[in-house]
Amino acid sequence: MSSPEPVLCDHCKKEMEQVQADFWGKKPPKKKQPRSTQDRWLLWGSRIALVMMFFIAEVMGMYWWASHNTPQIDGSVGDLNIIVPAATLERADAAPSAAPSGYNGTVTGGTYTLAIQKLGLRAPVVPVGKTASGNMDTTPSLYQVAWYKLGARPGEKGNVVLAAHYGAPDQEGVFRSIDQLNPGDQLTIVVKDNPNLTYQVVRKEYYPVDNAPLNAIFGPNNKAALNLITCAGDWDAGSRSYNKRLVVYTELVK
C-alpha cells in the first residue's frame, strides 16, 4: 500500500521547485502528454509515406537496371548480327520452288505459327527482311519468331531460317529453351488454310558469335530444311549480348 503524498505549504513548494530548477538547470521536465487522435494519424501517415517512397525508389531502380541490361533487338537476331550471304539474296529473287505435295494453294499465302509440343511453345511467325547494314532483321517482341522472308519459304527446298530472342538473364524470350531439343524431336509450322508442316531435328550446334557458318544456315540446300537460331553462352552486360549462337537444324518429314 503506497504512502500518501505529503501536504506541503506554499513556501515549501516554492523551495522544492527552486531545488529542482537548480538541479535540472531549467524548469522541471513536464510529464509527457498523450498524443491526440489527429497526431497519431499524422504520425502513421508519415511512416506509410516514407515506406511508399522507398518502395517506389526500389521499383524505379529495378526498371532502370532492366532497361540497361536487356539484349538489343534492332538489326540483329537476338544480337546475332548475321550478315546474310549474297547467295541467299540472289536466290530470293529467283522463281519460288513448287509448293509441297498436298497444298491447296501457294506456300506464300498462309500465316505461319511455330509450335513445339515438347517445349510447350506456340508463337506467331513474323516475316522480316534485312537491315541497312545487311543483317537479318528481327521482331520488336521477345515473344515472336522472325522468319527471313527473302530466303526459303516453309515447306519448300532450301533453308528456312527462323530466329527469336533468348532473352536477358532475368527475362525469358520465346527461344529460351530450344537448347532442350535433340535429334528426333519434332516441331510444327501451322499454316493458315493449308496442311501443317512437320520438321524433325537432325542436330544442334553452338558457334562463337563471330564465327557462325552463314552458308550452312542461310545458303542453298537440296533438302527442305528449317533452322532455328537464338543466342547462347555467357551474358555480357557491357555489350548486352551473349558470346555464342545456337542453331537447331531440322528437316521436313511431312
- Which architecture characterizes domain 72-252 according to CATH? Beta Barrel (2.40)
- Higher-pLDDT residue of 102 and 233 is 233
- Separation of alpha carbons 70 and 64, rounded Å: 10
Q: What is the mean pLDDT of the chain?
A: 75
Q: Which of 47-61, 77-91, 217-231 comes out lowest in average pLDDT?
A: 77-91
In this prediction the pTM is: 0.61
Range in 41-45, 116-120, 212-216 with the lowest mean pLDDT: 41-45
Q: Where are the domains of the chain?
A: 37-68, 72-252
- Cα 213–chain centre separation: 27
On the CB side of 81, CA atoms within 13 Å amount to 13
Does the structure show a pLDDT above 50 at 96? no
**pLDDT by residue (tens digit) across 124-135?**
999 988 888 888
Question: CB under 8 Å to 230, separation ≥6 — which residues?
Answer: 77, 78, 80, 163, 164, 165, 166, 173, 175, 178, 245, 246
| C-alpha–C-alpha distance, residues 120 and 252, integer Å | 20
Per the listing, cell 538489326 goes with: 75
Residues in the chain, how many? 254
Which of 74-88, 153-167, 201-215 has the least mean pLDDT? Answer: 74-88
Mean pLDDT of 225-239: 85
